[in-house]
Amino acid sequence: MATITPALDTHDHSHDHAHGHHEQTFIQKYVFSTDHKVIGIQFLITTILMLMVGGALALAVRWQLAFPWESMPLIGRVFGLFHGEGGQISPEFYTMLFTMHASVMIFLVIIPVLAGAFGNFLIPLQIGADDMAFPVLNMLSYWFMWPAIFCFGVSFVASGPTAGPGNGWTSYPVLSDLAAAAPSSGAAQTWWLFGLTLVGVSSMMGSVNYMTTIINMRAPGMTLFRMPLTIWSMFITAILQAFALPVLTAAGFMLVFDRLSELLPTTIHSVFFVPAGIIVNNAAPTVGGGQPLLWQHLFWFYSHPAVYIMLLPAMGMVSDMLACMSRKPVFGYKPMVYSMAAIAGLGFIVWGHHMFTSGMNPALGMTFMTSTMMIALPSAIKVFNWIGTIWDGNIQFNAVFLNCAAFVALFIVGGLSGIFMAAVPVDIYFHDTYFIVAHFHYVLFGATLFGVFAGIQFWFPKMFGRMMNDKVAKVHFVLTFIGMNGTFFPMHLLGIAGMPRRYADPYLHGYLEHLLPMNQFMTISAIIMGFAQFLLLGNFFYSIFRGQKAGRNPWGANGLEWSAPSPPGHGNFDVPPVCYRGPYEYSSPEAEALGQDFILQTTAPPAGVQRVAVHH
Amino acid sequence: MENSKAFSLKNLGLGCLLTAAVSGCSEFDSSFAYSAKTESLIAEAQDGTDAAPGVKPTLDSRFGNPQQLKAWLKLPVEWGGASARVEAVASTDTEIRIRFTPEEGKSLPTEAGSVQFITGEGAGQTVAITKWDAQTGEAVLASLPEKSPASGDLCAIDGGAALQSGRVLYMRHCSHCHGTAGDGKGPTAEYLNPKPRDYRHGVFKFTSTNDQSKVSREDLLRVLKYGIPGTYMPSFLLMKDEELHAIVEYVRFLAMRGEYERKLVNELASDYSEKSVSDRLKDEKRSDIVQELNEFLKDEFPATADSLGDELGEVWTAADTEDAKIIPSVPRVPDSPESRRRGRALYLSSTLNCADCHGIDGAGNGPQTLAFEKNPVSGELYKEAGLHDEWDNLNQPRNLQRGIFRGGRRPIDLFCRIHAGIKGSRMPSFKNTPHEDIWHIVNYLLSLQFESEPGAIAAAPAAAAEAAPAAAGD
Amino acid sequence: MKKFWALFFWFWPLVALYVCLIAPSRGWWFPSEPLSTLGHQIDGLFYLILIIVTVTFVGTQAALGYALWKGATKGSSQKAWFSHGSHKLEIIWTIVPAFVLVFISLTQLDVLADIRVLSKFPDSVQNSPVAEVMARQFEWRIRYPKPGTKLMNEPQPGDLYFVNEVHVPAAVPTMINLRTQDVQHAFFAPRLRVKQDAVPGLIIPVWFEIEKAGEYELLCAELCGWGHYKMKARIIADSQKGVDEYLTRLELEQNEDGVADAEASAE
């Protein structure tokens, strides 16, 4: 408990800050940098590039579904794979394609772009700190991504160029456990598991850092309930991550031990996930008493919260951006915070809804169904509040806003389709069909990625001191939006029609034959969507060097980050920020008194008003 | 996929050749790989000399490639299509109408895409049909053939259609394991145990034909329908009958192509492989060797190639006749402890000596499984101990206690396995064993899953242990 | 241009709705009516949720579009509504969805119990599976008990075997034992709305009642390796008499000794 009355100098003393440091070499400044902003941007650029890799894999999957067994572009002729087959891919190659698409997108794009890129860049800036609590740990969290990327990269070639990890990103044993069960995965699967573990290490370093930073390093006056929702979401995500991740890491090691049993000394042979008497690929029957469902429990105990790790930060960021672009306070700030906390809390007890058809005890199914239904509630509250935020606002129809509005519109679809799958009897039909593929792409692409597109655009001036081109961004938005819906909306219908996922050739089954034209339409949409991302790339890299110069606060936003120079120097703030109010006081009478529709959190109230009372 | 069907006919004095072109929208073509032995010949023997074609052109001219299959009519493959004769030709400047009559005992197809003229002036031409009336047999041709056909000419309507559809199905369902050329080297093959069959030897393991015969269509169909338990060959039970038949024909086509290639190469391998040529270079000049090869290819090779085709046609035709089929002379001896005991005694007897490979208890662990075998071709010892098959894969004897019989679990299946042996493997034929004795052994084998010694368990199934736990249910 | 964007966000949900509306007539819907008793209940629940979801979808998208339209038509001189939210609204939109969600949840429980809880299986199928369906890479191996005996968990002499085709009686509840020989698979019969994973090490009873005799697809719905898509099989529902005849036939076939057959063809 302290009440402070900061005396604000009017003159600039950020230089005093900077003078305390040595001149840095290029390597220190841009490669092994401990500056959270550089690390954030490193994460951002890495993940955008990985997005293109994941997208290419997705297009390969789509190609096979639209033109099954026809010569695949690039794969056959340019890379010279499957030459004897006339460029027709093999089914195990297809399993590799969808496995690696999911792995790259989830572990190398969505998770690091939210927590790694935006978390790093925004947390210190938005809470008014000069850097993260543990700058070196922060640097390591980025540089642990590269061994992970390396491991994933090796897994493309470790089992030969025409094979790779082919067990799905969920990697269910016994398939992923016994080398003979999915022989094409071979060493690649083990490398994949190492990659997964390293991504986990990277995330864990980030989480610890974020929690510490947010708890300890807020600027004077930045109370918990004056934090922007972005920070709240990062905070909650970090907690989720820190508590869920160890389980996955442990499970991953168990699986690695199972897989490597033949290489390891007999004393550490393990069969955690393999029951006795399993005969695969003509090998001798297995011995041991493992339980394959154990993996599913452990995996989803992490991976379900991970779904929220892949979503919550985007929710927070979108709340910030919607408020700014509507020139209105966030509608229901505290309900927003509480609902995020509720999502996180409930997120820990819903993992079983991935296992409704797995043969687990039906009583458990009922419990998980109820908790899963209830997790829709905070999501619904958030949607209503977002609409409330836009309502009667002075909307700025720029690309940032459009992407945010798309986030809300598409999240509604993803949320509502989730209800079908939360209901066990209905899920029994929809489990592992394209309905679920539609659902999670609406959440992860429709919501999260559109939030990320908006976020890139919105914070770009803070990152590089220049604006991105709004017109190009709008074209990118429209093409992506249309392509995205054209690709993923029909998947709902495919799911209802009973098309199972992960089929290299669904048309083998008579009742799915007539869905080929629809799949071709989806593939064309996907190609449009995929190529539209070059607009983003082009706009991004062009604007870094040639974009219009931006001032400190180009959007007229309220957060602390907008009081810093663009881009902020080392140590972030030229004036140590003091926070006087919440982050969303757009169009407030106080702002109007200044003749504007925003008021920075650092703007001191006029004399006579009690200056600041900070209660810790 | 099959938007153009160009047939050409070549009468090379070898019998008729039909060419079925299958061009798809795929941007690049697949090809039939040649065998390693073909590739081990010197280039002149592979490709031929100025004077005469070598192995590869000979093979290609008779079998084509996957996009353009050729039908060598010496071979007993159901190529598909209907043969018909031109009855009347009516041509105007713009279109040509032909009325066809079916060959005796045949009928005209309900749909037709093209016609290939086999005899007469227009022989060798293929023309697309734009309009087809199955009732009257009248067709409107898409274009005027260069040389007009006359009535009485023999032609094939949609010649090779069945083989093409077999190819399409094979590439979709089979090729990723068995390979485009049926060499068992598709991209998936390396992951499988046991390895997928390499058809090019013309040898198939599980047949109902006697030990000297090829596989019958019925046998292949059975394998397609029911799969091979204990291997990755799955059951394709739900494919339509005509699809299965088309695949069977295509597999036979590939098998014959491979076998023919092996035979052709054998004519040349001893003198003209890279290895033997380099040996011969010690006391001969290369130009002499090539000259000798040239003469051989010109003078003897064509006739040999032809007669090899005839032989091939004969043996593959014979496989589908009743003579080739194994028919036990006595019905199965009813199963009884006595019969099983008799079977076991035979199993252990020194004349049959089953236990040498399959082990005393039938667990597939006889002494032979531990011995190092010699590769019958190269004469070197195999790296792994145990029995190997014709394809040099380790092929250990079946564990008979598991109740998994790859060639089928019916008594007749086991009878055939013993009678004819398993072709290409070290399981020999016991065709001289009295059929009654074979039945005793069959009875014994079928009991091995349930009891180690005949009569060891009484017929009380309730005593069987319920080993696997039931799922959590309530 | 602002109005264009507002219309854009109104337009696409209409397209989505239109696509869903015409979907059944284009075959982009369930492969057929549910053809098992439980299937009807599952579809009933599906349509219940579909109605609730559609109403919510239309409501929220319309509200979002309207909010955008309002923003687009607002004069630039007009100021934004300064509001931090409404306690009353928060309560309403917490409690109403909560009730709806709990309601949906409760409607599911009975059907779930019918499908999965062993003690709620119909009496006639309790402990009397008609066949064992053993999934393996990449086919379904079926084992029937010798006619007149009960199915045991371990193979018995006289058991009948087939592959990729399982015959069950129609119009009565039927239970099969689901197992896997190797990795995880899932027993998925789309027209019957039946899906159950086959888990290594477990024997999982699955029951259903097929209403009419006929052929029903059976496929695998859990990634089981490169040949996952190849696990094409069928369930054939027939009268009890038909099933018995089939099993008799199968028994004859399975005991085929090649002699009777040859004699028949010789005649």
The reply to whether A30-272+294-310 and A317-546 are identical in fold is yes
Distance from CA of B79 to the nearest CA of A (A): 23
Q: Are residues C8 and C127 in the same domain?
A: no
Among A69, A72, A77, A360, most B C-beta atoms within 10 A, so best to mutate, is A69
The candidate with the shortest Cα–Cα distance to A372, out of A407, A338, A347, is A347
Query: Chain C residue closest to A413 (CA)?
Result: C57
φ/ψ of C217, rounded to 5, equals -65, 150
> Residue C173 — very low, low, confident or very high, per pLDDT cuts 50/70/90?
very high
Q: Are residues C100 and C224 in the same domain?
A: no
> Which among B180, B188, B230 is the nearest to A282, CB-wise?
B230
Tens of pLDDT, residues C115-142: 999 899 999 998 899 999 999 999 999 9
- Average pLDDT estimate for A366-376: 93
Q: Are residues C150 and C112 in the same domain?
A: no
Contacts of residue B178 in chain C, CB cutoff 8 Å?
Answer: none
Query: Chain B residue closest to C251 (CA)?
Result: B410
Does C201 contact chain B (CB < 8 Å)?
yes
Please judge whether B403 and C157 are an interchain contact, meaning their C-beta atoms are less than 8 angstroms apart. Answer: no
Tens of pLDDT, residues B69-118: 888 888 999 888 888 888 888 877 777 888 888 877 778 888 888 888 87
Please judge whether A85 and B31 are an interchain contact, meaning their C-beta atoms are less than 8 angstroms apart. Answer: no
Please judge whether B194 and A282 are an interchain contact, meaning their C-beta atoms are less than 8 angstroms apart. Answer: yes
Asked if residue C137 belongs to a domain, the reply is yes
Tens of pLDDT, residues C216-265: 999 999 999 999 999 999 999 999 999 999 999 999 999 988 886 656 55
The CATH number given to whatever domain includes residue C113 is: 1.10.287
Can you tell me the distance from the alpha carbon of A184 to that of A201, in angstroms, rounded to the nearest whole number?
Answer: 27
Residue B177 near residue B25 (C-beta atoms within 8 A): no
Helix (H) or strand (E) holding B85: strand B82-91
Does A289 contact chain B (CB < 8 Å)?
no
Q: Which residue in this structure is represented by tokens 């008779």?
A: B62
pLDDT of residue B470: 43
Is a pLDDT exceeding 60 seen at residue A17? no
Does A596 contact chain C (CB < 8 Å)?
no
Distance from CA of B432 to the nearest CA of A (A): 32
pLDDT of residue A11: 43
Residue B202 near residue B183 (C-beta atoms within 8 A): no
Domain housing C156: 123-256
List the structure tokens of B282.
């010690």
> Which among C153, C227, C232 is the nearest to B238, CB-wise?
C232
Angle between helices B286-299 and B301-318 (to 10 degrees): 50
Chains near B, with 3+ CB pairs < 8 A? Answer: A, C
Asked if residue C81 belongs to a domain, the reply is no
Instruction: Reduce the DSSP state of residue C156 to 3 states and report it.
Output: coil
Task: Quote ipTM for the complex.
Answer: 0.95
Contacts of residue A329 in chain C, CB cutoff 8 Å?
Answer: 82-85
Please judge whether A508 and C49 are an interchain contact, meaning their C-beta atoms are less than 8 angstroms apart. Answer: no
Tens of pLDDT, residues B216-268: 999 999 999 999 999 999 999 999 999 999 999 999 999 999 999 999 999 99
In the stretch 138-157 of chain A, residues with CB closer than 8 A to chain C read: none
Tens of pLDDT, residues A302-357: 999 999 999 999 999 999 999 999 999 999 999 999 999 999 999 999 999 999 99
Please judge whether A90 and B187 are an interchain contact, meaning their C-beta atoms are less than 8 angstroms apart. Answer: yes
Is a pLDDT exceeding 60 seen at residue A217? yes
Can you tell me the distance from the alpha carbon of B451 to that of B53, in angstroms, rounded to the nearest whole number?
Answer: 61
Can you tell me the distance from the alpha carbon of A410 to that of A484, in angstroms, rounded to the nearest whole number?
Answer: 10
Tens of pLDDT, residues A117-145: 999 999 999 999 999 999 999 999 999 99
List the structure tokens of B174.
């089979």
Residue A324 near residue A558 (C-beta atoms within 8 A): yes
Please judge whether B188 and A90 are an interchain contact, meaning their C-beta atoms are less than 8 angstroms apart. Answer: yes
Distance from CA of C99 to the nearest CA of B (A): 29
Please judge whether C79 and A587 are an interchain contact, meaning their C-beta atoms are less than 8 angstroms apart. Answer: yes
Q: Are residues C136 and C247 in the same domain?
A: yes
Contacts of residue A417 in chain C, CB cutoff 8 Å?
Answer: 53
Contacts of residue A592 in chain C, CB cutoff 8 Å?
Answer: 79
Can you tell me the distance from the alpha carbon of A544 to that of A462, in angstroms, rounded to the nearest whole number?
Answer: 11
Please judge whether A280 and C222 are an interchain contact, meaning their C-beta atoms are less than 8 angstroms apart. Answer: no
pLDDT of residue A570: 87
10-residue mean pLDDT series, chain B (474 residues): 32 39 49 92 89 90 87 86 83 80 80 81 78 85 76 83 91 94 93 93 94 95 95 94 95 96 92 90 89 90 93 94 93 92 94 93 91 88 92 91 92 95 94 95 93 63 40 41
Beta bridge partners of residue C186, listed in sequence order? C197
Query: Chain A residue closest to B32 (CA)?
Result: A84
What separation, in Å, do the N-terminal and C-terminal C-alpha atoms of chain C show?
A: 87
Q: Are residues C128 and C243 in the same domain?
A: yes
The CATH fold assigned to A317-546 is Cytochrome C Oxidase; Chain A (1.20.210)
Does A594 contact chain C (CB < 8 Å)?
no
Please judge whether C163 and B474 are an interchain contact, meaning their C-beta atoms are less than 8 angstroms apart. Answer: no
Can you tell me the distance from the alpha carbon of A50 to that of C75, in angstroms, rounded to the nearest whole number?
Answer: 43
Q: Are residues C103 and C129 in the same domain?
A: no
Please judge whether A419 and C104 are an interchain contact, meaning their C-beta atoms are less than 8 angstroms apart. Answer: yes
Between A384 and B144, residue with greater pLDDT: A384
Q: Are residues C173 and C249 in the same domain?
A: yes
List the structure tokens of A82.
């499957």
Query: Chain C residue closest to A387 (CA)?
Result: C64
Q: Are residues C94 and C150 in the same domain?
A: no
Question: CATH homologous superfamily of domain A30-272+294-310?
Answer: Cytochrome c oxidase-like, subunit I domain (1.20.210.10)
Asked if residue C263 belongs to a domain, the reply is no
Instruction: Reduce the DSSP state of residue A566 to 3 states and report it.
Output: coil
Does C138 contact chain B (CB < 8 Å)?
yes
pLDDT of residue A557: 95
Does C117 contact chain B (CB < 8 Å)?
yes
Distance from CA of A283 to the nearest CA of B (A): 8
Domain ranges of chain A: 30-272+294-310, 317-546, 551-616
Instruction: Reduce the DSSP state of residue B230 to 3 states and report it.
Output: coil
Residue B102 near residue B126 (C-beta atoms within 8 A): no
Q: Are residues C16 and C56 in the same domain?
A: yes
Alpha-carbon distances of C216 from A356, A510, B121, C36, C53, rounded to whole Å: 23, 11, 54, 11, 30
Q: Are residues C150 and C227 in the same domain?
A: yes
Query: Chain C residue closest to A388 (CA)?
Result: C85
Asked if residue C235 belongs to a domain, the reply is yes
Residue A411 near residue C19 (C-beta atoms within 8 A): no
Tens of pLDDT, residues A397-455: 999 999 999 999 999 999 999 999 999 999 999 999 999 999 999 999 999 999 999 99
Please judge whether B28 and A71 are an interchain contact, meaning their C-beta atoms are less than 8 angstroms apart. Answer: yes
Percent of chain A at pLDDT above 70?
Answer: 94
Asked if residue C108 belongs to a domain, the reply is yes
Can you tell me the distance from the alpha carbon of C217 to that of C237, in angstroms, rounded to the nearest whole number?
Answer: 11
Can you tell me the distance from the alpha carbon of C192 to that of A588, in angstroms, rounded to the nearest whole number?
Answer: 60
Number of folded domains in chain C?
Answer: 2
pLDDT of residue C227: 94
Cα C24 to chain centroid distance, Å, stands at 18
Task: Count H helices and E strands in chain C, helices first.
Answer: 5, 10
Cα B448 to chain centroid distance, Å, stands at 33
Does A12 contact chain B (CB < 8 Å)?
no
> Residue A87 — very low, low, confident or very high, per pLDDT cuts 50/70/90?
confident
Q: Are residues C138 and C161 in the same domain?
A: yes
Please judge whether A504 and C228 are an interchain contact, meaning their C-beta atoms are less than 8 angstroms apart. Answer: yes
Longest Cα–Cα distance in chain B: 87
Instruction: Reduce the DSSP state of residue B254 to 3 states and report it.
Output: helix
Does B241 contact chain C (CB < 8 Å)?
no
Asked if residue C264 belongs to a domain, the reply is no
Domains and CATH numbers, chain B: 82-158 (2.40.30), 171-298+310-324 (no CATH), 337-447 (1.10.760.10)
Helix (H) or strand (E) holding C188: strand C185-189
Contacts of residue A497 in chain C, CB cutoff 8 Å?
Answer: 27-31
Alpha-carbon distances of B461 from B448, B457, C142, C143, rounded to whole Å: 15, 9, 19, 15
> Residue C36 — very low, low, confident or very high, per pLDDT cuts 50/70/90?
very high
Does B188 contact chain C (CB < 8 Å)?
yes
pLDDT of residue C264: 59
